[in-house]
Chains A and B, each alone.
Chain A
């Protein structure tokens, strides 16, 4: 027994020794990546960390940030809010300059007060509108939040497609319910109309005949789908199987690479909107997507670009501040207009961050094309941001 105990103790101490003795260069810019490595959002977290990895390598190859190398470390949130709190605490204890992630809004809402207290910039992938109402000066979004995304998308659908009856299907979590609330509000205030049907669905639901028969019964001609990737693909298949003819549109997840890869031909004709598309007429997105395609044999999801940008944002902030003062960084990074001139590698063209850290950029309106083997996002138009210097610009049409 004693011998066994001794053996196990020595194994344990070996493990601890090897795991907790990283060789950290003293002057590295540390970035804690608090992200969904396991759980429901694991595949999104996977794209995100690949983006982080690539950006870090690129920055370090080019001489780092103000001469210091970037170092990142991953902290798993397991896609659960309480774990995300401990992950952020763990990340903060490591002494990072900034945090990157998480993606799930419920996780961000749970842990954002920590980065606020620690005065540490946190670049999140979440899109729920509530995050911007919490008054943190240390949160930056890596994509358009729902409060601006939904109105933009509805602008297009209402003015171009002029639907007579619109319905919405949304996933039954913070992501879907947040969008549903915004949609109802925007339709009422701006268009003085209502959804004819709103239906919540479950993750992993595979049969949508109940929802779609309702859609058919109510003669819906425009269907707003606010789903995660897999469910979006499943519902496209089913819309096709039921032979429904209507305008289907959704957020970036509905036209992201994962939904197209799974939806295939069924995704044809779906409208969606995203700030980052691998085939958008924007050189940086195209460049890093090509790298991804070469590396992993498939096109990236937009979480890859978001993760990539989360690192470049830190670089921009530090360079603009001219040093490593987080408070000055926070002041500098609000109400800032980041152009490719200022940061040549950052994705998405002109990025404007307002006073609550919401991102405003040109989003691409996309319609899915099917070429017989692959579903591809076809760029229809570039929609200007709703706030910032570019907000008075006109929609750029690529095809009409």
Chain B
């Protein structure tokens, strides 16, 4: 009961938030929701199934371009959004094929290569993608008379999708798929011994992770109202990686904490320009050295410290 109360309060606060936020802070929080969705996807691929992906920005970009280009063709946002996810997911499944054979550093490099190639296609094939200057004038959706055109209203749309994404990831993690992902992640040979087809599930881990990224991209394009290839470089993939590593790989809370820290951290701390990039890089090293579980363990300890347990674990 207390659990539900707690989450009810959290959601109520998030719903009330826009009333107190300035234009800019509202945008940052909205962006955090989008990045959270993508990071959740990467967490499923990397955090649970242990398949490195350094091309999540590609999946993200495919979702965003699907949205931008089809909106320009006059399609409905509500039809395109699932398509964004599906295109991202299909591409993810294709990228997943190399994962059947390679892992760790090989896979890391292969996915970097994928990211570089998709970036080139976005820049070069201007008949399709609008070239390096990208696509501008992306509109926002509406349902009936309810328009999401303002930043204020679009915030709620993103909040809903972010919550849906979190719930979906909880469901996936506790489903047969999630157990299989973890089994592959922990020990592939043993998983195979237990009759888990690593072939299917590896592809699935990539496809599902990429689906989330694609949906994130589909929501990202209308948020920015402009997209360009620069938003989908390998460095953005690296940012997603930083999010889940700092937050905590293989935990539901991980990508949420990570996205909050990576997107909002620089704003809160207002450090000297570029200094936060150093801080994040350093954090990657330190987390790997001393706290491989990620910052989520701080949360765990707090929970233990507070006698009346309010939070919930996945």
Contacts and interface: CB of A to CB of B under 8 A. Distances in A.
Contacts of A105: 133
Contact of B123 (A37, A90, A110, A172): A172
A385 interface: no
A109 B23 contact: no
A178 B267 CA distance: 34
Interface in A81-119: 81-82, 85-86, 89-90, 92-93, 105-106, 109-111, 113
B176 interface: no
Contact of A81 (B123, B226, B274): B226
Nearest to B34: A82
B124 to A, nearest CB: 8
B132 A106 contact: yes
Contacts of A38: 273-274, 277
B273 A76 contact: yes
A93 B132 contact: no
Given A80-B230, A86-B28, A86-B31, A106 B133 contact: yes
B302 A5 contact: yes
B101 interface: no
A332 interface: no
A74 B134 CA distance: 26
B24 A174 contact: no
A177 interface: yes
A115 B14 CA distance: 28
A174 B225 contact: no
A134 interface: yes
Nearest to B135: A109
B24 A92 contact: yes
A159 interface: no
Contacts of A106: 132-134, 228, 230
A5 B306 CA distance: 13
Contacts of B231: 80-82
Contact residue range for chain B?
20 to 34
B195 interface: no
A173 B271 CA distance: 30
A192 interface: no
B269 A19 contact: yes
A90 B26 CA distance: 10
A74 B273 contact: yes
Chain A binding site: helix, strand, loop or mixed by DSSP? helix
B134 A113 contact: no
A89 B23 contact: yes
B133 A86 contact: no
Given A106-B133, A130-B133, A86 B24 contact: yes
B226 A110 contact: yes
Nearest to A2: B305
A104 to B, nearest CB: 8
A1 interface: yes
Contacts of B227: 81
Contacts of A20: 270
Looking at B24, B131, B269, which has the most chain A CB atoms within 10 Å of its CB?
B24
Contact residue range for chain A?
35 or more
Nearest to A90: B24
Contacts of A26: none
A15 interface: yes
A89 B24 contact: yes
B281 interface: no
A123 interface: no
A153 to B, nearest CB: 21
Given A76-B274, A81-B231, A92 B23 contact: yes
B224 interface: yes
Given A5-B302, A82-B231, A16 B268 contact: yes
A128 interface: yes
A37 to B, nearest CB: 4
A151 to B, nearest CB: 20
Contact of A85 (B25, B123, B224): B224
A100 to B, nearest CB: 15
Interface string B13-34: 0000000001111011001000
Contact of B225 (A80, A90, A113): A113
Contacts of B139: none
Contacts of B136: 109-110, 113, 134
A93 B24 contact: yes
A229 to B, nearest CB: 18
Interface in A201-230: none
Interface string B194-224: 0000000000000000000000000000001
A110 B228 contact: yes
Nearest to B220: A82
B301 interface: yes
A81 B301 contact: no
B131 to A, nearest CB: 6
A99 to B, nearest CB: 13
A81 B220 CA distance: 13
Contacts of B22: 93
Interface string A1-27: 110010000000001100110000000
Nearest to A94: B24
Interface in A179-200: 200
A204 to B, nearest CB: 13
A89 B27 contact: yes
A1 B133 contact: no
Contacts of A85: 27, 224, 226
Given A90-B24, A92-B23, A110 B224 contact: yes
Interface of B: 22-25, 27-28, 31, 123-124, 126, 131-134, 136, 224-228, 230-231, 267-271, 273-274, 277, 301-302, 305
13 contacts: A16-B268, A81-B224, A81-B226, A81-B231, A85-B27, A86-B24, A86-B27, A89-B24, A105-B133, A106-B133, A109-B226, A109-B228, A113-B136
Interface of A: 1-2, 5, 15-16, 19-20, 37-38, 42, 74, 76, 78-82, 85-86, 89-90, 92-93, 105-106, 109-111, 113, 128, 130, 134, 172-174, 177-178, 200
The 6 A-B residue pairs with the shortest CB-CB distance, nearest first, are: A93-B24, A89-B24, A174-B132, A19-B270, A37-B273, A38-B274
